[in-house]
Structure 1
Amino acid sequence: MTDRQPRPSPFCLRLTPEERARLELDAAGMTLAAYIKWRVFDPDSPPPKTRGKTPVRDHQTLSRLMGLLGQSRLSTNINQLAKAANSGSLAADDLTRSALERAARDIAAMRTMLMQALGIRGEP
């Protein structure tokens, strides 16, 4: 048997979808519980550090990127290329090279968009 302190009882707060969305946006990577506690009990102090969550800096870019990924057949195409390469049936003609280069450019562009949306600096 351990000497754990009993956990405090939960607190329930009903919000409209708009109010919750606003809280989540304002929390910027913090859990809602941590954000609400900070705002209620210690709003004059700097916000507490989050546990590795990086706030999204650009929601529009992130939404655009997620839409592009949802419409893309990129993962299917790359899987098919990998399967063909592993079986030895990948013909490396000009058309294939062009398709691979285009896929690599698309992936690099998506990576850049994602890093920008998350506020992460890229490689120099």
Structure 2
Amino acid sequence: MSSSPSKTFHAAARSKADRPAPFSIRLSADERAYLERKAGNRPLGRYIRAKLLGDAETRRKAARVPAIDYAMLGQVLGVLGKSELATHLCLLAAAAEAGRLELAEQDRAALKDACEDVREVRALLVAALGLKSGGGS
């Protein structure tokens, strides 16, 4: 991870501070209900903006960046490690290579691919968590 969560938070806070203050308006319950009915499944703010400014003023929808759940990623990495899936796959592959396990060439290749897939998943999880890989499986 190149920047700390604190730096990321402060950078995001600064960028939000540069935006103009929102405009608010008080509505009665009946007025709000009427506007919500007119808006249908559109967000109320977008409906009101379109009515006030016309369709010429269209805002681009912000791309949603999924939140990173570091705890969940850590759990996934932990389960992957506890399962010893990579170790067992590598043992099977080694037994197949040594001739102790009879496998067709296609199955042997699939087993090697599975070993590589597990290594790649582990590497991606380690990178996503900002950890240094300790090698191993």
Same fold (TM over 0.5): no
- Report TM bin, short chain: 0.3 to 0.5
Point out the structure with max Rg over C-alpha: 2
Give TM-score, length-normalised by structure 1: 0.39
Structure with the larger helix share: 2
